[in-house]
Amino acid sequence: MAGHSQFKNIMHRKGAQDAKRARKFAKIAREIMVSARSGLPDPHANPRLRAALASARAANMPNDNVDRAMKRALGGDDGTVYEEVRYEGYGPGGVAIIVEGLTDNRNRTASDVRSNFTKHGGNLGETGSVAFMFERLGLLHFDSTKFDFDKVFEAAVEAGADNVETIEEMHEITCSMDSFASVRDQLHETLGDPIEAKIFWKPLNTIACDEDTARTLIKLIDILEDNDDVQHVYANFEVSDEIVHKLSA
């Protein structure tokens, strides 16, 4: 178990779930606003918005929250404009980390991310400093309690996906970045809305971490995830199941 899936597995078992849920809703709302403004406000004609709304439903985000995000996007009353940002650097143990965000203040976000790296034994680098250690792939998640694996596998193969595997309660489908749009749209027609659909960074190789390094690394990733401006964090680490169990306790 490695990378983003491993981190989610650890954090899923930690406390303060209400606070984390509220932060997750805020991040989804920001993505709804950005996606609605970047294309047509109709989810049928805007795949990014459709994916954001699907994420909101999968997270059980209240309809009022979704409606407010859409109204802010369409009305633009607050004048807030978010831009996409990416930061790259090394965490403890030389683990490569990529941070993606949506911010209305690039200087604030950069300062916060740099401070987080420094406080946890890492170093923020220039754009491109670690990206070469990852590949960009399309990622889609479908609820494994609703869809049989064979059905998802067959649909994914027909759509042109590269790989399908079941992780916990999700079928995870990956494909090339170039084929992501066509795979996403075809699976939408066949299976309906996925829980998640996005382009993500998959590490080409992973670094094995001992317990102390993993503990500090998880703290860094956790505090980055807690930042309202941060949408996703990717890292090329790997820890044993025994360490995962200890960190999850």
Please provide the size of the chain in residues.
249
Number of domains within the chain: 1
Q: Is residue 130 domain-resident? A: no
Between 97 and 243, the more confident residue is 97
For residue 164, pLDDT over 50 is answered with: yes
Q: How far apart are CA 97 and CA 117, in angstroms?
A: 10
Average pLDDT, the chain: 87
Domain containing 27 equals 3-75
Confidence of residue 103 (pLDDT cuts 50, 70, 90): very high
In a domain, 68, yes or no: yes
In a domain, 171, yes or no: no
Tell me whether residue 237 is in a domain: no
| 54 located within any domain | yes
Structure tokens belonging to residue 107: 């200087």
Q: Is the pLDDT of residue 215 over 60?
A: yes
**Distance from the Cα of residue 36 to its chain's centroid:** 19
| Residue 165's pLDDT band (cuts 50, 70, 90) | very high
Residue 31 within any structural domain of the chain: yes
| Radius of gyration for the chain, computed over Cα atoms and rounded to the nearest angstrom | 18
| 28 within a domain of the structure (yes/no) | yes
Residue showing tokens 């094995």:
208
Residues with Cβ within 8 Å of 215's Cβ and at least 6 positions away in sequence, in order, are 247
Is 59 a member of any domain? Answer: yes
CATH number at residue 27: 1.10.10.200
Helices (H), 86-148: 106-119
The two structure tokens encoding residue 96: 């490569």
CA distance 183 to 176: 9
